[in-house]
Structure 1
Amino acid sequence: MTDSSSIDVAAARKLVATTPGTRLIDVRTPGEFAAAHIPGSRSVPLDLLRAKSGLTVDHSDPVVLVCRSGARAEEARGLLATAGIDRLVVLEGGIEAWERTGAPVKRGAGKWAMERQVRLTAGSLVLTGILGSLVAPKMKWLAGAIGAGLTYSALSNTCAMARVLSMLPYNRTPEQDGPALLEALTSSAQR
């Protein structure tokens, strides 16, 4: 553990092994979760947490937040800190770090990670803008707008394109908006 708000893979695995009530909460999109997740983790997408203000938490179990690399989990930590969770940490490096250490991962359907979806979408829009500018010169501004958006995204550590893509049916499951997903985080009853 490097500080009180984050935990490395070795410490997270030890916490799960020694503290049975530990909750691994994956805040990536349902599509990303379905593709690969830590065994025993539960999906509570960041978009759902953003939409549900005023959560109440009825447990004192430790909660380890997981995403692809740590950025979305850190945002979730900020949102959930106000819900009364005292033992809330982010997995440093996310599921990528988990996999690099050889820790077990449950694999499912081959859906793409959000970052890969953003790269494909942004790259396609830039390419469209450049090629389209051969016919309609003003299309070059599409490429410029995407470049400006990516620059802002890097500087602010946010991604509007990822938020939009997370709303697509491919990245959602029918039960995403139901209370069952939040129950993994908020209820006192264990699985």
Structure 2
Amino acid sequence: MLNILKDELNSHINTYAKINEEFLNDIYKAYEIISKALKNNNKLLIFGNGGSAADAQHFAAELSGRYKVERKGLSAIALSTDTSALTAIANDYGYEFVFSRQVQAIAKKGDILFGISTSGSSKNVLEAFKEGEKLACVNIMLSSNKATNDKYFNIKAPSLDTPRIQEVHIFVIHSICHLLDLEFKV
């Protein structure tokens, strides 16, 4: 059993060893885009499925609450939290539209859509991005090396293994939160 844990740790370490300066620059670019939008009184709409939905909620909570330091609350909403909206939209329109309908309802020009998808091909995430384009929102995707869609600004975790991808996604989210903490601290 200990060998299994060592293998998991080594897999984690090997994935993080693949993070390079280009990847870090992508995180910084995402931070700059988000910071500028928040300063312009725009909001961050975050969404994904399964573990990515949990990551979206985590990200929104860190921003509307706080990450490490005292600062004003930042406008961030996880679109995966309203079960009534999710189930009504899925029932009436189809699951592929659970995020795009919410984007249509609450997004405005200049808002940031932050879609999280380990595959990079979740239909409901891509539909939300299509809706965001119509509204002149900025689309940022957090995905992996599995992703083949390069239409959107895409921060790709350097792995094909879902647990490692999700671990890197949390690193990206926490890194952006840390930079925003520094930017907006009181």
TM-score (norm 1): 0.36
